[in-house]
Structures are given as structure tokens and as C-alpha cells.
Amino acid sequence: MPAMSIDAESAAILTERLGPTAVRFTHTDDALWVLHPDRRESLAIVTGFGPTNAPTAGTLSVMLGAVELQRHLGVPMTVVISDLGAWNSRNVSWSALVRVRDQMLAFLVELGLGPHKAELRSHLEHDNLVRAGRIARYLSRADFQEHRESLLELYAEHGLLGSETGVVVDSLYTVADVLGPFDNGASNVLMVSGMEEAYFTDLARLVLQRQADAGELSLGWSGRIGGLYFRVLEGLAGYPKMSKSIPASSIHLNMTQAEITDRVMDDEESSQAALLSAIELSSGWDAVDVARAREAFADRVLRPDSWRQARREFCRSFAQFAVLWQRCAR
């Protein structure tokens, strides 16, 4: 089924089941079913991050949301840093991917996703590589053409994509990630990601159904996959999202305090809504401070100083995360 915008009724149910973290999500795809309290004992969560560069404010917002989600639900969670996937689908050196991968793993632990709370791994994991090899038989080239990342053309325009086969291999690894909990006894899986990655959920469902119908060629998996999709953080300068691969679209954790300040305090109007979203999702502020920032944004034409002050405070908050990120480097 296609992902649906979260309406008022669904939002109320999500808030009941996820607490304040529910406001981070904009779309759901069978998530309410797998999140039912009666299915909690058989539920597992899967999410992940690409190590092509330091986390942007958008990536940080998803990391913070994953920490909140795990704390609230307390169910098994797998967090994957997709090193092999990124190697195949993006034009980034292996040494750079390994460096950022290890830094991301350490950073997630600092944010609160320690090994006792979540399985943190990369694609260099034997079981997932075997699983990717076993599920390939259930998918066709047409499946990958129909279910693909919405921003592929944008990345291609910037010379960032690997080969067509590499993009397929990346998808195969990640679909195997989504299906991994079925190998470990789960019967309900919640895939948590941005909307641009919803196609992984669709492909995983195809595999789950086709292997169930494959008779003696079945893998013996049964269950249900739900998708829950984070609000996309818009990019600066009018880009559709903050992307690690498009520097002009984002602020990221490798920036110095001065660089963060230059980007956030720029008064270019095309960036202001994205900066408010960054405050809402990646500042770590409480609800009261976020509400004040919204008011300042709404009144920015008549009261520009209040909005500038909110952005200055965000610069300090984001810089604190940047310091933590830099401490996680080897």
C-alpha cells in the first residue's frame, strides 16, 4: 500500500503509542498495525544512515528521532550504516566512507543508542550479505526500476551516482536490512526512514510475499512490514531536502562554529523556512523554545531581530552537536 499522510485520527493514535516522538513523522504505511500494543513483543525496528559525509541537520533530526523512538518503545532496533551500499551507489572513496561510518557509529552511541539498546552495524556483516544474496532471486530489474529513490535524477545531475548496477546492489543490501528481523524471529517489522527511502519498504514487501508463495523455494518468513516516515527537512537555498551530497543545501556537523553561523544567519529568504524546520527537528530544544522560534519566524518581517536571535541560539545548539561529532572521530 502507498504511504499516506498522517491525518488527525492517525496522529492521535501515533501519539498514544509513540509519545512526543510522533510529531516527527508525516507519513505512515501500515505502521499503526505493526505498532499495536498487542504486537509489541514480536516487533523490531530497522533504520539506517548513509556515511557519504558528516550528518546534516536533516540526518541529525532522524538520529535524534531514532533515539527517542527506541527509548519509548524499548523493542529490538537495528541501525545500519550503509558503507557498502554507499560505495556502490555514490561516487565517494572507500577510505572516506569507512572514516565517516566509524564516526557515525560512535556518535550514535553518544546520542544514546548504545549496543545494549540497539544493534549498530554496517553492511560489512556476514548474515546480511548472505541474506542479500538469498533474496535477489525474488526481485527483477523491473522491480528496481519501478521502486527507486525519488532524488536519483538530482544526484545524477551533480555527478554523485555510481553505476546503475551499483544502485541496484545498494537497494538489495538495504532490503536485506529491512528483512533481517524475520531471520531472528520477529513477525512485525517497522521500517523507519525518510519518505525518499519508502521504496525500500515496497521492495521488502515484494520479497516477503514472493518467498512466501515460492513453495520449496521459500525462506520460511512470515509477517508484516510497516513503514513510518520522518518529516523531510527542506534544503537551504530552495533545495528539496538537506543532502549530505549537495553541500549548498545543508548545514552539517563537520562545519566550524563560524561556518555554521555564516550559513544559519544568512538572510536569504529561500532558506528561512528550512532553518525553522532545522530548529524544530535538530536543535534538541524543548517544546516551549521551539514554539518561541515558530512565533519569531512568523513575525520575521515585522520583528526581524527576534528571528535572528532564534537563529543565533540555534547556531550554538547545533555547534554543540558538531563538537560531539568531532570528538567521535578516531
Question: Please, what is the average pLDDT of the chain?
Answer: 91
Nearest to 159 by CA among 253, 70, 245, 93: 245
> In Å, how far from its chain's centre is CA 28?
14
Give residue-wise pLDDT tens across range 177-188. Answer: 999 999 989 999
Nearest to 128 by CA among 196, 72, 90, 178: 178
Taking 60 as the threshold, does the pLDDT of residue 214 lie above it?
yes
Average pLDDT on 86-93 reads 89
Reported confidence tier of residue 3, pLDDT bands at 50, 70, 90: confident
Asked whether the CA dihedral 197, 201, 206, 211 is positive or negative, the reply is: positive
- In this prediction, residue 147 has a pLDDT band, given cuts at 50, 70 and 90, of confident
Average pLDDT value for residue range 262-272: 94
Q: Is the pLDDT of residue 286 over 60?
A: yes
Q: Residue 303's Cα: distance from chain center in Å?
A: 34
Q: Other CB atoms closer than 10 Å to residue 270's CB: what's the count?
A: 13
- The pLDDT tens digits for 55-77 are 999 999 999 999 999 999 999 99
Whether the pLDDT of residue 232 is over 50: the answer is yes
- In this predicted structure, the answer to whether residue 87 has a pLDDT above a threshold of 60 is yes
CA distance 198 to 25: 13
Q: What is the mean pLDDT of residues 155-167?
A: 61
Question: Does residue 157 register a pLDDT over 70?
Answer: no
The domain limits of the chain are 4-230, 251-327
**pLDDT cut 70: percent of the chain above it:** 94
pLDDT band, very low/low/confident/very high, at 238 (cuts 50, 70, 90): confident
Does the pLDDT at position 156 exceed 60? Answer: no
- pLDDT value for 241: 81
Structural Rg of the chain based on CA atoms? 20
What per-residue confidence (pLDDT) applies to 305? Answer: 96
DSSP classification of residue 20: G
Contact call for residues 191 and 44 (beta carbons, < 8 A): no
Residue 163 has pLDDT above 90, yes or no: no
Cell numbers given for 246? 549537495
| pLDDT over 80 (residue 219) | yes
Q: Which pLDDT does position 115 carry in this prediction?
A: 80
Question: What is the arithmetic mean of pLDDT over 292-306?
Answer: 96
Mean pLDDT computed over 195-199: 88
Domain 4-230 belongs to what topology? Answer: Rossmann fold (3.40.50)
Residue pair 236/251 in contact by the 8 Å Cβ criterion: yes
Question: Is residue 148 over pLDDT 70?
Answer: no
Residue 250 has pLDDT above 70, yes or no: yes
pLDDT at 283: 96
Percent of the chain exceeding pLDDT 90 equals 79
Instruction: Give the pLDDT of residue 154.
Output: 45
Quote the pLDDT of residue 253.
96
Q: How confident is the model at residue 159 (pLDDT cuts 50, 70, 90)?
A: low
Q: Global pTM?
A: 0.89
Q: What is the pLDDT of residue 80?
A: 98
pLDDT at 162: 52
